[in-house]
Chains A and B, each alone.
Chain A
Amino acid sequence: MVQYNFKKITVVPNGKDFVDIILSRTQRQTPTVVHKGYAISRLRQFYMRKVKYTQQNFHDKLSTIIDEFPRLDDIHPFYGDLLHVLYNKDHYKLALGQINTARNLIGKIAKDYVKLLKYGDSLYRCKCLKVAALGRMCTVLKRVGPSLAYLEQVRQHMARLPSIDPNTRTILICGYPNVGKSSFINKITRADVDVQPYAFTTKSLFVGHTDYKYLRYQVIDTPGILDRPFEDRNIIEMCSITALAHLRAAILFFLDISGSCGYSIAQQAALFHSIKSLFMNKPLIIVCNKTDLQPLEGISEEDRKLVMEMKSEALKTVIGQGGEATSDDSVLLTMSTLTEEGVISVKNAACERLLDQRVEVKMKSKKINDCLNRFHVAIPKPRDQKERPPCIPQAVLEAKAKEAAEKEKRKTEKDLENENGGAGVYSMNLRKHYILANDEWKEDILPEILDGHNVYDFIDPDILRRVEELEREEGIRQAEEENDEFEIDGAELTPEQQAALAEIRKKKSLLIQQHRIKKSNAESRPTVPRKFDKDKQYTSERMGRQLSKLGLDPSLAIQRMRSRSVSRRGRKRDRSPEGADGGDRMDVDGDTPGKKQRLSRSRSRSRSVSRPPHEVVPGEGLKDSAQKIKAIKLAKKSVKKRNKEARRGEADRVIPTLKPKHLYSGKRSTGKTDRR
């Protein structure tokens, strides 16, 4: 219920904090990065989002405030009045109203600025609009600051109000200040209210709880009331007046017989009569306290008369309730909180009176049917002494008996398991209870997989028949096949032709290979003409072999070749077949040009000799040895490592001045100038 949750109202931040919270949240929860190069719609969206987000947050927070603070008209009139007394209803409503207006204003601001933002044409303009929007919203909130502070104070005070249930059994204690109300409540409940000799020690309502006949009663201690006209009362007195006015409770009016509170009985009686209108329809008990100082019998005549007047008034309330006119014991009681005599009886009397009143009211109301069962349980009266037990048919009884017997006799699987070694050792034979056509088959093992097939996929009741059909079909097909097995052989090649074909294929693949090599090396290697044949492939023997393979007679060709080479050579060379000369001629067997005569590289020598580096080999493409030497030098230079580490090299030594003046002239301060 709302009235009890004053403690659950969220904290109301003050104006500045509020603004800080919202703005920092906007900063954190919305994207923060934007550049002026973005598309304009994206910029607009960015800033609109910020404005809307801020407005949304303001709206949410202000709405929670407005919703959580109780509406004084919607709560129990006791609380409504109490809050009015404490905080001034108008002021309270105004504050909440201001918050509401602020909320609406912020909404309007956001709407307007979002509309403007839709037409912002640059980042700067959009940003200015957003700054303006947020600024205005914050100003609105700043103006509302005092209301927020007030509401926060109200909330803090409300949270500390005692939790009084206006509908349950309540006992209210009232009277002049200092008569002993708080001491009484301290005695009968666990409440620990301040008791001091000065007046107005108790400044607000206090609640304690006490038990009577297994029921819980609220005991409310009020601040003292002075006898003043209604308008002059201060807030503290108004609290008790409110409680008196709205709570349906038993009232204990405390009277100080001894007068040690500082007020005479006359004054107290006057107070009684001025507020007796509040005691309508409530069980009233007049309690004379501090009897240890002054017993009731010992007071003066006028005082006694006043007391009797009060008692008669109280009696009227009893009679007004419709109850029997009891003795004045239950209307006028004496006690002393100091000596604790009579305290319990006062409490009991009050509780009893209240209970009776409440029960009576309940009886008269329409809700009686709901709680009638709490009052009375009806049992039918027995008509005669005959016994009538419940009727159970005989068959059911027999069946029950049999089942019970069976349960004891049957051996369960669990027993079997326990006999054979327990759960880990014995595993039950699941096949025991299989229902098969022949019980011998129970322990049969059927393989699940056979030759790469699942056996279960093949199980079919008429598989035999189908397999027979299949085999028959297969037999037919095989017979058909045999009939048209003959294939026309056609022209087959003879073995010689086959050899020729093999040779052709070999030759073709060789050609293809060579072509591929040539193609892949075409860009990186120069094509050397055949006369500079480094590998000595092109010899007359080879030619002869190839020609004879093709079926031609090579002898003529070889002769012709030799004759030509012979004519070109000259006599000198014949005598010294190992002689060398730089000159191009047809390369016959084994002669190679070379500069130095002593170096011979004929095939008759068994050891080979390496060439000097500057010797030009005809297949390389260099003109003479000078060129070759230069080429070799360039090659070596290009492979040298560059000095990329920026270290000084030999070429980096610089002598800026070859003859510095300070070394070559001038006297010395110490020493001789013999050597310069």
Chain B
Amino acid sequence: MRLEKCWFCSSTVYPGHGIQFVRNDAKIFRFCRSKCHKNFKMKRNPRKVKWTKAYRRVHGKDMTQDSSFEFERKRNRPERYDRNLAENVLKAIPKIDKIRVTRDERHHKNRMKGKKEKLQKEAAKELEQGISLVKAPSALRKDPSLTLPQKIKVSVSQRQSEDNNAMEE
């Protein structure tokens, strides 16, 4: 029993899931679900489909080469069983996983490095350009800071008196 990788999206295919397609030249394509299978039948290139791992690797969104990938390799020759070795392996797998995950995160952080600065600059520009939508020019002249103006309260009584005056006339 083996966990395989989906040919299209590179996610793991657990036993009992997915479809396997064998082509006439004996190449085997495994798919994790019908979404991947249908995309394959449509002859879509996974390197161009945004949500697949292949795309992410090709476009540098995810880490490609790393020494932590070297540990997991399909071995064709079985090794004779050794209890100590088995113990070590079972202990090592979570460690390797953890390291891989931290490296992934680091990669992501590196990718996102300049983002905050960029966002701040954009926000500042937008604020400066769009202040006229929320603040009248006269108010801006009076108070040149780029903030919302002070709300002016109009009293109701003033209005009533106006009305009464008109009626009396």
Chain A positions near chain B (C-beta within 8 angstroms): 434-438, 441, 444, 446-461, 463-464, 466-467, 470-471, 473-474, 477-478, 481, 487-494, 496-497, 499-501, 503-505, 507-508, 544, 547-555, 558-559, 562, 566, 574
Q: Contacts A551-B135, A558-B154 given: A496-B147 contact, CB under 8 Å?
A: yes
Given A444-B81, A508-B133, A453:B151 Cβ within 8 A: no
Interface check B27, CB cutoff 8 A: no
Residues of A within 8 A of B81 (CB): 434, 436, 441, 444, 446
Alpha-carbon distance between A309 and B106 when the two chains are bound, in angstroms: 131
Given contacts A477-B106, A504-B126, 17 further A-B contacts (CB under 8 A): A437-B80, A437-B82, A441-B81, A449-B1, A454-B3, A457-B73, A457-B74, A463-B89, A467-B92, A470-B67, A500-B147, A548-B154, A549-B134, A551-B136, A551-B149, A551-B151, A558-B154
Contact A499 B93 (CB under 8 A): no
Q: A452-B12, A461-B79, A471-B99 are in contact. Are A551 and B90 (CB under 8 A)?
A: no
Residues of A within 8 A of B147 (CB): 494, 496-497, 499-500
Q: Is the beta-carbon distance between B85 and A459 smaller than 8 angstroms?
A: yes
A-B contacts, 11 listed (Cβ < 8 Å): A452-B12, A455-B93, A456-B78, A461-B79, A471-B95, A474-B102, A487-B113, A490-B121, A494-B147, A500-B146, A504-B126
Is there an interface contact between B127 and A574, defined as CB atoms closer than 8 Å? no
Give A448 to B134 CA distance when docked, in angstroms.
64
B80 (CB) vs chain A CBs: closest residue:
A436
Q: Tell me if B131 and A460 are in contact (CB < 8 A).
A: no
B154 to chain A, nearest CB (A): 5
Q: Are B124 and A491 interface neighbours, CB within 8 A?
A: yes
Nearest Cβ on chain A to B165's Cβ, whole angstroms: 9
- Complex-state Cα separation, A449 to B2, whole angstroms: 7
**CA A459 to CA B133, docked complex, whole Å:** 66
Q: How far is the CA of A554 from the CA of B121 in the complex (A)?
A: 35
A562 and B162 within 8 A (CB): yes
B residues near A554, Cβ cutoff 8 Å: 152, 154
Instruction: Give the complex CA separation of A574 and B121 in angstroms.
Output: 58
Known: A458-B92, A467-B92, A471-B99. A548 touches B151 (CB 8 A): yes
Residue of B nearest to A488 (CB): B117
Q: Do the beta carbons of A460 and B71 come within 8 Å of each other?
A: yes
User: With a CB–CB cut-off of 8 A, which chain B residues contact A492?
Assistant: 120
- Of B72, B103, B116, B152, most A-chain CB atoms within 10 Å: B152
Chain B residue numbers with a CB within 8 Å of A459 are: 75, 79, 85-86, 89
Which of B89, B124, B139 is within 8 Å of A550, CB to CB? B139
* A665→B146 CA distance, assembly (Å): 106
Point out the residues of chain B lying under 8 angstroms from A559, CB to CB. Answer: 162
**In the docked arrangement, what's the CA distance between A457 and B68, Å?**
13
Q: Does B41 contact A (CB under 8 A)?
A: no
Whether A446 and B86, one on each chain, are in contact in the complex, defined by CB atoms closer than 8 angstroms, is yes
A621 to B97, CA, bound (A): 73
- Complex contacts, A437 vs chain B, CB 8 Å: 80, 82
Residue B150 at the chain A interface, CB threshold 8 Å: yes
Taking CB as reference atom, which chain A residue is nearest B136? A550
8 closest cross-chain pairs (CB), A and B = A551-B149, A551-B139, A504-B130, A496-B147, A550-B136, A548-B152, A507-B133, A467-B92
Nearest residue (CB) in B for A435 is B80
Write out the residue numbers on chain B whose beta carbons fall within 8 Å of the beta carbon of A448. Answer: 1-2
Contact B93 A458 (CB under 8 A): yes
Q: Is B83's beta carbon under 8 Å from chain A?
A: yes
CB contacts (< 8 Å) of B71 on chain A: these are: 458, 460, 463, 466-467, 470
- State whether A504 touches B134 (Cβ < 8 A): yes
Residues of B within 8 A of A553 (CB): 152
**CB neighbours of A478 from chain B (8 A):** 102
User: Are B83 and A444 in contact, CB atoms less than 8 angstroms apart?
Assistant: yes
- Minimal Cβ-Cβ distance residue in A for B92: A467
Residues of B close to A463: CB separation below 8 A: 71, 85, 88-89, 92
Contact yes or no, B75 A457, CB < 8 A: yes
Query: How long is the Cα–Cα vector from A490 to B67 in the complex, in angstroms?
Result: 36
B96/A566 in contact, CB under 8 A: no
CB-defined contacts of B145 to chain A, threshold 8 Å: 496
**Bound-state Cα–Cα, A444 to B143, Å:** 81
In the complex, which of the residues A435, A470, A551, A558 has the most CB atoms of chain B within 10 Å of its own CB atom? A551
Within the complex, what minimum Cβ distance (angstroms) separates A499 from chain B?
6
Q: How far is the CA of A554 from the CA of B150 in the complex (A)?
A: 13
Residues of chain B within 8 A (CB-CB) of A566 are 166
- Complex CA distance for A434 and B92, rounded to whole angstroms: 26
- Shortest beta-carbon distance, A413 to chain B, in Å? 22
Which chain B residues border A547 with CB–CB below 8 Å?
136
Which residue of chain B has the shortest Cβ distance to A469 in the bound complex?
Answer: B67
Contact B89 A458 (CB under 8 A): yes
Check B94 for interface membership: any CB of A closer than 8 A.
yes
For the complex, give the distance between the alpha carbons of A362 and B102 in Å: 101
Please give the distance in Å from A486's CB to the nearest CB on chain B: 12
Residues of the A chain whose Cβ atoms lie less than 8 Å from the Cβ of B92: 458, 463-464, 467
A491 and B150 within 8 A (CB): no
CB contact under 8 A between A499 and B148, given known A449-B3, A464-B88: yes
Q: Is the CB of B86 within 8 A of A504?
A: no
Residue of A nearest to B163 (CB): A562
Interchain CB contact under 8 A, B134 and A500:
yes
B26 at the interface (CB under 8 A from A): no
Nearest chain B CB to A553's CB is how many angstroms away?
5
B28 is an interface residue with CB less than 8 A from chain A = no
Do A493 and B124 touch across chains, with their CB atoms under 8 A apart?
yes
A549: which of B80, B95, B97, B151 is its contact (CB, 8 Å)?
B151
Q: CA of A138 to CA of B149 in the docked complex: distance in angstroms? A: 112
Bound together, the chains give a CA A667 to CA B101 distance in angstroms of 118
Q: Which residue of A lies closest to B79 (CB)?
A: A459
- Measured between beta carbons, the chain A residues less than 8 angstroms from B97 are 451, 453
Complex Cα gap A550–B142 (Å):
13
Does B138 reach chain A (CB closer than 8 Å)?
yes
Shortest Cβ distance from residue B149 to the other chain A in the assembled complex, whole angstroms: 3
Q: For residue A566, which residue of chain B has the nearest CB?
A: B166
- Docked-complex contact B134 and A544, CB < 8 angstroms: no
Nearest CB of chain A from residue B5's CB, rounded to whole Å: 10
- Could you mark each residue 105-118 of chain B with 1 if its beta carbon is under 8 Å from any beta carbon of chain A, else 0? 01000000100110
Which of these, B94, B123, B138, contacts A493 with CB under 8 Å? Answer: B123
Shortest beta-carbon distance, A571 to chain B, in Å?
9
Q: Indicate if the CB atoms of B94 and A451 lie closer than 8 Å.
A: yes
**Given A457-B73, A463-B88, A507-B134, A496:B3 Cβ within 8 A:** no
